A and B are shown apart, each in its own frame.
Chain A
Amino acid sequence: MSKMPEDVIEVKNLDITFKMATGDIHAIRGVDFHLMKNEVLALVGESGCGKSISVKTIMGILPENAVINSGEILYHGKDGTVDLLSKKFSWRQKNINGSKISMIFQDPMTSLNPTMTIGAQLITAIRSHEDVKKNEAYARSIELLREVGITEPERTMGQYPHQLSGGMRQRIVIAIALSCNPEILICDEPTTALDVTIQNRILELIQKIQQTRGVSVIFITHNLGVVAKIADFVGVMYAGKIIEYGTVFDIFYDPRHPYTWGLLSAVPEISDNKGELYSIPGTPPNLANEIVGDAFAPRNPYALAIDFKAEPPLFKISKTHYVASWLADERAPKVEMPKELSERIEHIKQEGMDYVGI
């Protein structure tokens, strides 16, 4: 993954350990990714694979027992490039967090202050970053609320978070995140706690904002349907590493890693017929133990002997598509994805073509 001129964030070789009373947990084991301007990068994986930790490192909000062993997070701003990890947290709070990079969390109830009105929270957010008068901040708040699709902004300004529904609260959180015109928006499972209909509207809102404001988005989710809808690029994470990276078409039409195969097979589709649902055998490895070879090998029916001995490097499949699996090595035997999945992908492709054809 070479540096492209339009990168806004580059995470290089990030390695993080959590110091616990019971021992060290090696949560992030060398994560590399880059976010391009005006693109949506989705990070997917099971819980505990390190997707949230990676983005929390960008914001500098890791818990105190986390130790960053190595890595760089390069932010390419208008005034040059900075390594965020080399800066103090107070500097990042003042210069980066909120104003350049904003974050939305999963549970809107816990990220809003229950004792303050929506208006007070929005105005505080604006005035803590910019030196503006209160009435100007008020006017901008109203405008922001309109932008996130709230129909009666004046009334909402005087309400408290508990008076609003889950979807409304998440809209408010998005409005606060946008209040200082950030270049990058990080969304950590923003729709997981919401119903499908509300989820759809929030995703559409994030898409709209991304297009009209031209922000770059890092989107964390474990829902592949959401990834298909929103992402331009996808990073599949497993046990603290990115094991496959590519455009949304690379991942959905031509997945190469057996873990990605498993993930794609495990999701039921509404157009599917009934049948046994595929599930990946076993559980993710305990990161408190030393991992030898490929972390996925014990669960991998296609594992080669080398998978248990050496960690696979990131192989290049195409200009955009990378995979960390020994199966991609030219000396490896040719292994086809499971028949059910290849049929499913054929079906998805066909469905897509029919759809475009209309």
Chain B
Amino acid sequence: MSESKQKNVKSKLLCVDDLCMYFDAKGKRVKASEHISFEIREGETYGLVGESGSGKSTIGKCIIGLNKATSGSITFCGEELTGIRKRKEYNEKMKDIQMIFQDPMSSLNPKKTVGEIIREALVIQKIGKNREEQEKTVAEILKKVGIPTEYRNRYPKDFSGGQRQRIGIARALVVNPKLIIADECIAALDASVQAQIVNMLRQIKEETGTSFLFISHDLTMVRYLSDRIGVLHLGYLLEEGEPEELFEDPIHPYTRSLLAAIPRLNPVIQPEQVDPYNYASSGIDYALGVWHDVSETHRVRCTDAEYELWTGETQEEISVEMSAEIQEKTHKKTDKPGKERT
């Protein structure tokens, strides 16, 4: 599905190929992920966006093995994870993949001090010769995430939400992972604290070269952090591209509706009543879609006819659904229907 990117094989860190994840509940099959394919390269941050129920968390959980994928493969550092049957072997691999969760309070053990919580990760992964060395690593990592080392003997309850999230990040970072999965890790925080955490993550990314899978529903924050973004809806990955391409030149009507819905920081701009995107009545069948390359990095999942409709001269017809503002942007773009990247 990603032939065009085969040349990047060397730098691939994680490769998700044709992943399907179905849940069987009460005789009803819930299709959480449908034929998901994407890859994360070394040092890259990949953002997954979508509304609740779109299957973004399921993908993260499949990667770290909390969910067992129904079909498809996940390859990490050239090794296939989906083939591993033994929990122990899987856990060994997981040293290089760490996770940061949404709610820092429920993901930290309330009975342990912060120092113990972080050192526990080192003990489990058998990193560091002795206790002293591990304690030293803990102190270093706390300093890195901006928690004073004197606070190591305090309990999670003694910290604010932003500080707790810093501790969660420290715990993930302490084992030097290659990939960090951040599942809505800033959703529960205030705007100004969000900014602090996002800046810190960017700094960590630059310093350590760690790759991130950044899962979020907040498009503006995803844009700030990600090198590439994938848009999910109803279990399908619909569009993928670099932030500029996706924000300036969205192809899929769903991506457009998502962008149009972002509240603008401007009291004058009031997007006119957007005709909401409705999958059932839109006539689009995600299952029929195949990947179309818009540019080298930008691709969209749809049928040939849809691709023609969304990018071709019939632009005006569908643009009715879009907000006046996005509409204006795309009209400028349609001057060059080929959509080559310049």
A residues sitting closer than 8 Å to B (CB atoms) are 46-47, 166, 195-201, 203-204, 222-226, 228-229, 231, 248-249, 252, 262-264, 266-270, 274, 276-280, 283, 348, 351-353, 355-356, 358
Contact = CB atoms under 8 A, between A and B. Distances in A.
Pairs of residues from A and B, 9 with the lowest C-beta to C-beta distance, nearest first: A225-B263, A352-B268, A279-B195, A195-B51, A200-B261, A279-B196, A266-B195, A268-B220, A248-B267
Q: Is the interface of B mostly helix, strand, loop or mixed?
A: helix
A46 B274 contact: no
Contacts of A270: 219-220, 223, 247, 259, 262, 264
A268 B221 CA distance: 7
A344 to B, nearest CB: 8
B269 to A, nearest CB: 5
Interface residues of B, number: 45
Chain B CB within 10 A, most for which of A199, A264, A268: A268
Given A198-B51, A225-B262, 19 more contacts: A46-B191, A166-B52, A195-B51, A196-B218, A199-B263, A223-B191, A225-B265, A228-B264, A231-B267, A252-B266, A252-B267, A269-B220, A269-B264, A277-B195, A277-B224, A352-B267, A352-B268, A358-B324, A358-B328
Contacts of B121: none
Interface in B185-210: 190-196, 198-199, 202
B273 interface: yes
A262 B202 CA distance: 20
Contact of B263 (A47, A229, A263, A348): A229
A101 to B, nearest CB: 26
Contacts of B273: 204
Nearest to A279: B195
A269 B259 CA distance: 12
Nearest to A281: B196
B257 interface: yes
Nearest to B324: A358
Contact of B277 (A197, A225, A252, A266): A197
Contact of A200 (B263, B267, B325): B263
A195 B192 contact: no
B264 A229 contact: yes
B217 interface: yes
Contact of A47 (B190, B196, B217, B243): B190
Given A196-B51, A358-B324, A267 B267 contact: no
Given A262-B192, A270-B247, A279 B199 contact: yes
Given A197-B258, A200-B263, A269-B265, A280 B192 contact: yes
Contacts of A358: 324, 328
Given A195-B217, A358-B324, A266 B263 contact: no
Interface string B161-201: 11000000000000000000000000000111111101100
A353 B51 CA distance: 32
12 contacts: A195-B52, A196-B217, A196-B218, A223-B263, A228-B264, A249-B267, A252-B266, A267-B265, A268-B221, A268-B224, A270-B219, A279-B199
B91 interface: no
B195 A228 contact: no
A283 B191 contact: no
Contacts of A355: 266, 268-269, 325
Nearest to B190: A46
Given A268-B224, A283-B160, A225 B264 contact: yes
B270 interface: yes
B128 interface: no
Contacts of A231: 267
Contacts of A353: 268
Given A200-B261, A269-B265, A229 B270 contact: yes
Contacts of A352: 266-269
Nearest to B325: A355
Contacts of A262: 192
B263 A226 contact: yes
A266 B262 CA distance: 16
B302 to A, nearest CB: 19
B338 interface: no
Interface in B55-72: none
Contacts of A228: 263-267
A222 B262 contact: no
A277 B199 contact: yes
A64 B199 CA distance: 40
B265 to A, nearest CB: 5
A20 to B, nearest CB: 14
Contacts of A351: 266, 268-269
A291 B291 CA distance: 60
A187 B264 CA distance: 20
B110 interface: no
Interface string B262-290: 11111111100110110000000000000
Contacts of A224: 191, 265
Nearest to B218: A196
Given A196-B261, A224-B191, A201 B276 contact: yes
Nearest to A198: B51
Contacts of B243: 274
Contact of B191 (A166, A248, A263): A263
Given A267-B265, A270-B247, A46 B258 contact: no
Interface string B17-61: 000000000000000000000000000000000011000000000
